[in-house]
């Protein structure tokens, strides 16, 4: 039994076989999928998909690359969406200094305001952090108090991981763990408590080995779980059981 805690199954890459893809995930033992919004439109689509499919839940939020698309009234809409029974997380939100489609100041502004919505609505969050470790940590220390959730596709140092764990956050591990150039990520995943790990695919992106280079999908979270078991020297069943329980606890899944 597995949970993919971060996917984007509203993506157009699934338009021709979305039903089959959801069925295939279940055949691979993936009992639950959280599909994340990254704009207001995709967040609305994520909620519709969660309503359509059993075992699919939604996240709603605006990604830092889409910061300029967010309008003042959208924060009220996000808050309202948080009351939907199948919306389990505010996300995907955060900072992205790799592309910088919006200024760093604007990204920080909408990140902080969305964290405030999560706090008011008592919701966990899913955080995107790309090339922005310092500012992400600074904002979480100041504006993220009392919040929890996942640091999506964790790419920081072991020192950063330890600090995040002390602050009550969980680390999301994705396809890059299986890559040959994974650098220090396997070592970090081997060290941190299994009780603080969440499995993700980020579908349709970042397909793990042996599917690297293809369209990713939630079924492939199995390969990430296998790699976690390998680097930790434990059984696949233990990884599946504990990370599923982690997901249920963090995101209040059925």
List, for residues 23-73, the tens digit of each pLDDT value: 999 999 999 999 999 999 999 999 999 999 999 999 999 999 999 999 999
Residue numbering of the annotated binding site for a divalent metal cation:
6, 8, 92, 128, 152, 202
Distance CA(158)–CA(56), nearest Å, equals 32
Quote the CA–CA distance of 168 and 249 in Å, as a whole number.
13
**Looking at the whole model, is its pTM more than 0.95?**
yes
The pLDDT tens digits for 113-157 are 999 999 999 999 999 999 999 999 999 999 999 999 999 999 999
CATH code assigned at 90:
3.20.20.140
Say what the pLDDT of residue 100 is. 83
Label residue 26 left, alpha or beta by phi (over 0 means left) and psi (-120 to 50 means alpha). Answer: alpha
As for how many domains the chain has, the answer is 1
74-81 and 40-52 helices, crossing angle to 10°: 20
Residue 254 pLDDT grade (very low, low, confident, very high; cuts 50, 70, 90): confident
> Range of 73's domain?
2-251
Residues at the binding site are 6, 8, 92, 128, 152, 202
Cross-strand partners of 151: 127, 171
User: CB burial class (10 A; 0-12, 13-18, 19+) of residue 235?
Assistant: exposed
């Amino acid at each position: 039994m597995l949970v993919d805690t971060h996917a984007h199954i509203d993506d157009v890459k699934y338009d021709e076989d979305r039903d089959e893809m959801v069925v295939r995930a279940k055949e691979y033992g993936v009992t639950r999928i959280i599909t994340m919004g990254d704009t207001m439109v995709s967040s609305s689509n994520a909620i519709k998909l969660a309503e359509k499919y059993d075992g699919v839940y939604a996240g709603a939020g605006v990604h830092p690359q889409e910061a300029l698309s967010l309008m003042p009234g959208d924060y009220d809409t996000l808050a309202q969406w948080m009351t939907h029974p199948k919306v389990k997380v505010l996300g995907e939100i955060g900072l992205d200094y790799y592309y910088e489609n919006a200024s760093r100041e604007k990204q920080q502004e909408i990140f902080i305001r969305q964290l405030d919505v999560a706090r008011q609505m008592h919701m966990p969050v899913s955080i995107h952090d790309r090339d922005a470790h310092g500012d992400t940590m600074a904002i979480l220390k100041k504006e993220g108090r009392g919040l929890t959730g996942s640091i999506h596709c964790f790419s920081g140092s072991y020192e950063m991981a330890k600090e995040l764990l002390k602050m009550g956050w969980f680390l999301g591990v994705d396809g890059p763990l299986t890559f040959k150039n994974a650098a220090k990520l396997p070592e970090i995943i081997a060290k941190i408590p299994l009780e603080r790990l969440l499995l993700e695919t980020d579908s349709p992106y970042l397909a793990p080995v042996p599917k690297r280079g293809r369209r990713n999908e939630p079924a492939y979270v199995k390969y990430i779980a296998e790699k976690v078991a390998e680097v930790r020297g434990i059984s696949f069943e233990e990884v599946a059981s504990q990370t599923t329980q982690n997901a249920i606890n963090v995101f209040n899944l059925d």
